[in-house]
């Protein structure tokens, strides 16, 4: 088997697939690895009932292949996991991407010594000039170490590692721990067939109805005819979709106009409600107007006022954790077979073979679903032993929080690129278009290296320090740091509290990346550091 490549790409999700395609298009010999048995990344693993994307299908799809986007037709406004996985499989087949991969193969280490030596859990060792880590931002599942967890005698699942076999809920007493996006999507669907669903909620979340619907042929035709312009607008936008807020701030318009706009976004559906007004995420007073509007809606949707109270968040401004896009979540609590257990009132004490014990009672269960999220953005990287120049390990380098230049590169780790890494805008924008931007930038960078006879590229410490400072300053100017979100690593015990994404938006980020490239890769050391020129 061949062991020497131009590039190794880790991950066969949205980003990894495009990286393989793009680098092969440059004539490079590329080897991909993924721990899963097939392509899809997030959409391979998150098969839990109700799993959907919260970005509209027409936008959450590749733009690099005009024929593909004309040929492929999404069935729904917000596609289900199965359809997205089918789409990614279609793209992989269309561009023969599977042939680059070794599946069911987890990369365990990557070490730089002039070239990257990559080792896997199947015993493979390969080397490559470039390492591209497209390992996903929401990949490493967070399985809280609750007392007695492993003693549970029933079925136990994590939403982010859902089995491929059919999971049967009928007649079963199902417990769901976690009310983030995954729990909120899964709960109403499980409740349709389960005997009973007990929801263990530590923190309530804001959620806006998806208003999902089938896409009509007329609508699809209209979108396809206007795709180039839609994509152009998306690429320069903040969030990677062609949506813009009201021209004036929430506090600059009168109460009637404000309600009219919130009504519009509420009826339109989905998390974009957070962007109704431009000052919603920077001014607490403006944010309060959105919060009060949504609170009143939750009270309308939930019949029992005490349950409604408990479902209304009181610990973060609306939008500072990603607003969930749901289908019938709050209404699920009006069902006889759904019970809310508020872990703030009655903390979880242990898991027993029979169920979940809280301070006041034992909740008997046949099945327990952990919808407890991910070690986001850094988890999938820190699970690989990555060693750069002079044996520096990424784990040590990032022990106080991730440090990148542009979210793409790390000082001390030459010829290594991260796609959608911490410091990139990906998680606050459309992941597909951000992945395309990252990979296109990397590809152009490799063209530059070839054209100039440069063998290595590496971010300088100064450039990394400046980028981390810029990311922090951007975040500090918003309300985002006020929430204990996974953006901050606050969901993982012991994880350094650092706001990880670049919050300035995709359009601005793209302009910065392009400017750095046009300036001969400012902030990078080109060639070997001993003889290199620092730009
Ligand atoms: P999230 O959004 O991180 O949600 C995880 C949920 O699990 C959240 O409600 C947590 O409560 C809860 N949780 C985590 N650990 C525990 C423990 N130990 N006990 C009780 N409850 C716990 O993950 P999701 O998978 O739902 O969504 C991730 C992203 O995917 C989402 O933002 C979208 O972008 C798509 P907490 O809030 O920490 O109190």
**pLDDT tens-place string over residues 294-319:** 999 999 999 999 999 999 999 999 99
pLDDT at 4 over 60: yes
Q: Do the beta carbons of residue 73 and residue 126 sit within 8 Å?
A: no
Q: Do the beta carbons of residue 129 and residue 111 sit within 8 Å?
A: no
Does the beta carbon of 488 lie inside 6 Å of ligand 1? Answer: no
Query: Tokens 């750069």 correspond to what residue?
Result: 388
ipTM for this prediction: 0.99
Does the pTM exceed 0.90? yes
Packed helices 227-236 and 506-518: angle between N→C axes, nearest 10 degrees: 80
What three-state secondary structure class fits 442?
helix
Does the beta carbon of 131 lie inside 6 Å of ligand 1? Answer: no
CA distance 293 to 250: 12
Does the beta carbon of 50 lie inside 6 Å of ligand 1? Answer: no
For residue 111 the two structure tokens come to: 């070490």
Q: Do the beta carbons of residue 229 and residue 261 sit within 8 Å?
A: no
What confidence score (pLDDT) does residue 534 get?
56
For residue 522 the two structure tokens come to: 């400012």
- Ligand 1 mean position to 376 CA, how many Å? 11
Q: Which helix (H) or strand (E) holds 534?
A: strand 533-534
- Helix-strand-coil split of the chain, %, nearest 5: 35, 20, 45
Query: What are the start-end ranges of the H helices in 275-363?
Result: 284-301, 305-311, 329-332
Q: Which atom of ligand 1 is nearest to the CA of 181?
A: 26
- Ligand 1 mean position to 179 CA, how many Å? 6
pLDDT at 258 over 60: yes
What three-state secondary structure class fits 119?
strand
Residue with CA closest to ligand 1 atom 30: 181
Query: Tokens 């021209």 correspond to what residue?
Result: 247
CA distance 514 to 466: 17
CA distance 212 to 270: 9
Bridge-partner residues for 325, per DSSP?
Answer: 208
pLDDT at 22 over 60: yes
**pLDDT tens-place string over residues 493-532:** 999 999 999 999 999 999 999 999 999 999 999 986 554 5
What confidence score (pLDDT) does residue 201 get?
98
Average pLDDT over residues 163-186: 97
Bridge-partner residues for 7, per DSSP?
Answer: 30, 130
CA distance 233 to 226: 11
What confidence score (pLDDT) does residue 244 get?
86
Residue with CA closest to ligand 1 atom 35: 181
Cβ partners under 8 Å of residue 511, min gap 6: none
- Ligand 1 mean position to 145 CA, how many Å? 14
* Mutation test residue for ligand 1: of 43, 84, 181, 272, the one with most atoms within 8 Å of CB: 181
Cβ partners under 8 Å of residue 432, min gap 6: 14, 55, 59, 60, 61, 62, 63, 240
- The two counts, helices (H) then strands (E), for the chain are 16, 21
Residue with CA closest to ligand 1 atom 33: 181
Bridge-partner residues for 416, per DSSP?
Answer: 131
Does the beta carbon of 380 lie inside 6 Å of ligand 1? Answer: no
pLDDT at 253 over 70: yes
CA distance 139 to 378: 9
What confidence score (pLDDT) does residue 317 get?
98
What three-state secondary structure class fits 101?
strand
Residue with CA closest to ligand 1 atom 20: 202
**pLDDT tens-place string over residues 393-444:** 999 999 999 999 999 999 999 999 999 999 999 999 999 999 999 999 999 9
- Ligand 1 mean position to 527 CA, how many Å? 43
532 exposure class (CB count in 10 Å sphere: 0-12, 13-18, 19+):
middle
Q: Do the beta carbons of residue 420 and residue 434 sit within 8 Å?
A: yes
- Ligand 1 mean position to 203 CA, how many Å? 8
Residue with CA closest to ligand 1 atom 19: 202
What confidence score (pLDDT) does residue 485 get?
95
Q: Do the beta carbons of residue 56 and residue 78 sit within 8 Å?
A: yes
Does the beta carbon of 183 lie inside 6 Å of ligand 1? Answer: yes
Question: Percent of the chain at pLDDT above 90?
Answer: 98
Does the beta carbon of 180 lie inside 6 Å of ligand 1? Answer: yes
Packed helices 217-225 and 227-236: angle between N→C axes, nearest 10 degrees: 70
- Ligand 1 mean position to 177 CA, how many Å? 9
**pLDDT tens-place string over residues 152-162:** 999 999 999 99
Q: Which atom of ligand 1 is nearest to the CA of 343?
A: 20
End-to-end CA distance of the chain: 40
Does the beta carbon of 310 lie inside 6 Å of ligand 1? Answer: no
Does the beta carbon of 149 lie inside 6 Å of ligand 1? Answer: no
Nearest to 527 by CA among 450, 454, 449: 454
pLDDT at 1 over 90: no
- Ligand 1 mean position to 75 CA, how many Å? 29
- Ligand 1 mean position to 138 CA, how many Å? 11
CA distance 262 to 459: 44
- Ligand 1 mean position to 1 CA, how many Å? 42
**pLDDT tens-place string over residues 341-377:** 999 999 999 999 999 999 999 999 999 999 999 999 9
Nearest to 522 by CA among 418, 409, 426, 424: 409
Mean of pLDDT over the chain: 96
Does the beta carbon of 242 lie inside 6 Å of ligand 1? Answer: no
Q: Which atom of ligand 1 is nearest to the CA of 370?
A: 7
Sheet containing strand 348-352, edge to edge, reads 348-352, 355-358, 362-364
**pLDDT tens-place string over residues 371-383:** 999 999 999 999 9
Residue with CA closest to ligand 1 atom 28: 373
Residue with CA closest to ligand 1 atom 14: 372
CA distance 497 to 491: 10
CA distance 480 to 503: 9
What confidence score (pLDDT) does residue 533 get?
52
What confidence score (pLDDT) does residue 347 get?
98
Query: What are the start-end ranges of the H helices in 246-326?
Result: 255-268, 284-301, 305-311
Does the beta carbon of 328 lie inside 6 Å of ligand 1? Answer: no
Query: What are the start-end ranges of the H helices in 129-283?
Result: 181-193, 217-225, 227-236, 255-268
């Amino acid at each position: 088997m061949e062991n020497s490549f131009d590039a190794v790409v880790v991950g066969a999700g949205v980003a990894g697939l495009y990286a393989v395609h793009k680098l092969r298009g440059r004539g490079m010999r590329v080897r991909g690895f993924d721990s899963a048995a097939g392509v899809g990344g997030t959409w391979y693993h998150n098969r839990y009932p109700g799993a959907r994307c919260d970005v509209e299908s027409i936008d959450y799809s590749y733009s690099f292949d005009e024929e593909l986007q004309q040929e492929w037709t999404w069935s729904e406004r917000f596609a289900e996991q199965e359809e997205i996985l089918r789409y990614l499989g279609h793209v992989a087949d269309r561009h023969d991407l599977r042939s680059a991969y070794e599946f069911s193969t987890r990369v365990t280490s990557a070490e730089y010594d002039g070239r990257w030596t990559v080792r896997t859990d199947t015993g493979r060792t390969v080397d490559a000039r470039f390492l591209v880590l497209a390992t996903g931002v929401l990949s490493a599942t967070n399985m809280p170490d609750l007392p007695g967890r492993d003693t549970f005698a029933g079925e136990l699942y994590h939403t982010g590692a859902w089995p491929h076999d059919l999971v049967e809920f009928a007649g079963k007493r199902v417990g769901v721990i976690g009310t983030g996006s995954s729990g909120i999507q899964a709960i109403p669907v499980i409740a349709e067939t389960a005997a009973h669903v007990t929801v263990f909620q530590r923190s309530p979340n804001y959620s806006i109805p998806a208003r999902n619907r089938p896409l009509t042929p007329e609508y699809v035709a209209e979108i396809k005819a206007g795709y180039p312009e839609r994509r152009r607008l998306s690429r320069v936008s903040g969030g990677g979709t062609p949506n813009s807020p009201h021209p004036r701030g929430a506090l600059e318009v009168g109460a009637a106009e404000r309600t009219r706009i919130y009504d519009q976004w509420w009826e339109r559906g989905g998390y974009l409600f957070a962007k109704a007004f431009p000052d919603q995420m920077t001014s607490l007073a403006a944010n309060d107007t959105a919060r009060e509007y949504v609170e009143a809606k939750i009270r309308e949707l939930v019949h029992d006022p005490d349950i409604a109270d408990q479902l209304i968040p009181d610990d973060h401004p609306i939008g500072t954790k990603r607003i969930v896009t749901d289908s019938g979540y709050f209404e699920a609590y009006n069902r006889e077979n759904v019970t809310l257990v508020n872990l703030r009132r009655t903390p979880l004490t242990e898991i027993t073979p029979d169920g979940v014990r809280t301070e006041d009672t034992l909740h008997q269960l046949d099945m327990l679903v952990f919808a407890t999220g991910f070690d986001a953005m850094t988890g999938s990287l820190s699970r690989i032993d990555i060693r750069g120049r002079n044996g520096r390990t990424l784990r040590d380098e990032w022990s106080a929080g991730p440090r990148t230049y542009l979210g793409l590169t790390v000082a001390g780790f030459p010829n290594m690129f991260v796609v959608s890494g911490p410091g990139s805008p990906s998680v606050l924008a459309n992941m597909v278009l951000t992945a395309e931007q990252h990979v296109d930038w990397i590809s152009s960078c490799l063209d530059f290296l070839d054209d100039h006879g440069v063998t290595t590229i590496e971010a300088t410490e100064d450039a990394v320090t400046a980028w981390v400072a810029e990311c922090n300053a951007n975040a500090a100017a918003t309300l985002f740091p006020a929430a204990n979100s996974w953006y901050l690593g606050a969901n993982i015990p012991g994880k350094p509290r650092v706001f990880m994404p670049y919050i300035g938006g995709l359009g601005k980020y793209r302009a910065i990346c392009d400017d750095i490239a046009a300036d001969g890769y400012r902030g990078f050391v080109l060639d070997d550091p001993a003889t290199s020129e620092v730009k």
